[in-house]
Structure 1
Amino acid sequence: MKEEQASSAIIPPLDPTRLPRHIAVIMDGNGRWAKGKGLERIWGHRNAIQAVRDTLEGCAEAGVPYLTLYAFSTENWSRPQYEINALMELLVKTLRDELQDLQQKGVRLRAIGDLAALPSKCQAQLKESIEKTQGNTRLTVTLALSYSGRAEIVNAVQNLAQQVKEGKLEPTDIHADMIERHLFTSQLPDPELLIRTSGEMRLSNFLLWQMAYAEFYFTPVLWPDFRKAHLFDAIRSFQDRERRFGKTSEQISS
């Protein structure tokens, strides 16, 4: 009953002029949720799908145009093989089952990371979902899969170094904007709000460059229990903060 009430929560008063354009989420706590109920870890992942639905719907309803979900890191490949296999199967099934709903909600799907490392079935379903939703404009949802923030930066630097080697670029010409154009997220604005569930307080190699000026919101709620009401609490917290970007409060107020 509590979950149903949270899922149907009315959007609290929000300042439409101060909404974060881009919210990034570290979906943490699936394993602990399952363990607390005496279940295998994969049940935590399966029961987290509603949290994803609520977060997508909440962003769309509130008017947040970009959402990025940390779904699978490069470090996650070191987990037990049976769990990895189950996660990949769940990814394929979820993408297939949710495609019609994504279309109805106007959600455009994207993905970043070392996608070539994913099983071929995952790559095929991901490609199909991305292609079929590419015309949607209400909300852009990016899945970070087989993703590493450090690897992303290294990749950008290597691309720029190759251009220098080929004589197409001078080292002194390299600047922050140029590096950003070589990141996986080059078509997205930087996240303004990071939400991490489960009470952990770290970035875990997620969007390291892009988080330079993001506001962090940590909640003890485990990801399978995360609902719209929790998302709106995070947005309200964001709107209550003063974002100075290195300036003083006096400069901001004037």
Structure 2
Amino acid sequence: MWQRLRGLAGRAYRRHLRREIDDVPDHVAVIQDGNRRYAREQGDDAPEGHRAGADTTEQVLDWCADLGVSELTLYAFSTENFERPDEELKPLFDLLERKLREFADADRVHDEGVRVRAIGDVARLPPRVRDAVEYAERRTAGNDRFTLNVALAYGGRTELLDAARAIARDVDAGEMAPGDVDVETVESRLYDRPIRDVDLIVRTGGDERTSNFLPWHANGNEAAVYFCAPYWPEFSEVDFLRAIRTYESREESWQRARAERA
């Protein structure tokens, strides 16, 4: 009885949140934090938390499609993650390999026009994961209605540093003048970058920081940020809709400020 009432109340609240949303971000980026803590609280090992988080990832893709979000970037594996113990890394790499291949072959991915792209220092990943990345990118290259960026071996500072070094080499070689360096110059030397600037960053797990994630595309665009307490495997559609509402509130505030300045 109580479960049925809670279910009805939850559906009614989701409908209420949807009715409140008029403006949807083009590009959402997610820091999927809390998989390991979730597993510990369930009495499981870290790989079980990562597997539960992978199920949430698939749900978020559906929510994005329902709302009309055009691009989603997932912080799947950072450069700092390489410091984790081997007994955790191996099953995590296995999961990444399997999910990339499964996703690339899924009928709904191609029916919905989803293109998969990896961003980051992919060359640092094990060969089997690199092969899965190449397979997913190749299988979905012709899709153009939704972009899924998977950040693998990604670090924002490293990305900017590599771009700066590449520009410095070109200037030193006389291939460009320092005065020619502009926004387009930097962007052309970033990793295989997202198509759009980031409009909204979502971080689960309770920490209120963006952890070196997409500094050029998110911080540079002054993206809205939504922090929430649930671990990634517990992240719900209500949490996602609240995040979208945070973005919409920020946009409304900006529009008022611009009107007042004008």
* TM more than 0.5: yes
Residue 98 of structure 1: CA displacement?
2.6
Provide the residue aligned with 1:221 in structure 2: 230
Do the aligned partners of residues 68 and 252 (structure 1) sit closer, same or farther apart at CA in structure 2, a change above 3 Å counting?
farther
Distance verdict in 2 for CA 1:21–1:152, change over 3 Å: same
Q: TM-score, normalised by structure 2?
A: 0.87
Identical counterparts, % of pairs: 36
Q: How far is the alpha carbon of 1:106 from its aligned partner?
A: 2.0
1:252, 1:223 → 2: CA distance? Answer: 39
Letter paired with 2:149 = T
Give the TM-score taking structure 1 as reference length: 0.90
Structure 2 residue runs of 5 or longer lacking an equivalent are: none
Aligned to 1:249: 257
2:247 match = 238
2:70 aligned with 1:61: no
**Distance of 2:64 and 2:232 partners within structure 1:** 16
Q: How far apart in 1 are the matches of 2:155 and 2:165? A: 15
Query: 1:204 deviation in Å?
Result: 1.2
Q: Structure 1 residues 248, 167: closer, same or farther in 2, change over 3 A?
A: farther
Is the 8 Å Cα contact of residues 77 and 154 (structure 2) preserved in structure 1?
Answer: yes
SS at match of 1:211: helix
Question: The residue matched to 1:217 in structure 2 has which SS?
Answer: strand
Using the alignment, how far apart are the partners of 1:252 and 1:44 within structure 2? 48
Is the contact between residue 120 and residue 152 of structure 2 (CA under 8 Å) also seen in structure 1? yes
1:39: which partner in 2? 44
User: Residue deviations 1:92-137, cap 9 Å, x none?
Assistant: 1112223314223321100011101111111111111111111112
Residue 209 of structure 2 corresponds to 202
How big is the shift at 1:209?
A: 1.8
Unmatched tracts of structure 1, length 5 or more: none
Q: Please name the residue that 2:155 is paired with.
A: 148
Q: Deviations over 1:207-233 (max 9, x none)?
A: 112222111100001100113332122
Q: Cα offset for 1:195? A: 0.1
1:20 alignment counterpart: 25
CA contact (8 A) 1:244 1:252 kept: no
Maintained 8 Å contact 1:69/1:143: yes
Which residue, 160, 170, 173 being the options, matches 2:177? Answer: 170
Q: Secondary structure at the match of 1:70?
A: strand
Rounded Cα–Cα distance in structure 2 between residues aligned with 1:133 and 1:204:
29
Structure 1 residues 252 and 34: CA distance shift in structure 2, 3 A: farther
Structure 1 contact 60–138 (Cα < 8 Å) conserved: no
Higher mean alpha-carbon deviation, 68-77 vs 45-54, is at 45-54
Q: Deviations over 1:36-90 (max 9, x none)?
A: 1111111100111121011111111111101000000010000001111110001
Measured after TM superposition, the shift of residue 252 of structure 1 is 5.6
Q: Distance in 2 between matches of 1:13 and 1:84?
A: 42
CA distance in 2, matches of 1:186, 1:30: 26
- What is the deviation of 1:153? 0.3
Question: After the TM superposition, which residues 88-167 of structure 1 pair with which residues of structure 2 at under 5 Å, given as runs?
Answer: 88-99=93-104, 100=106, 101-167=108-174
Give, as a single letter, the amino acid of the residue that structure 2 aligns with 1:139: F
Match of 1:52 in 2: 57
Is the CA contact 2:119–2:193 (under 8 Å) kept in the aligned structure 1? no
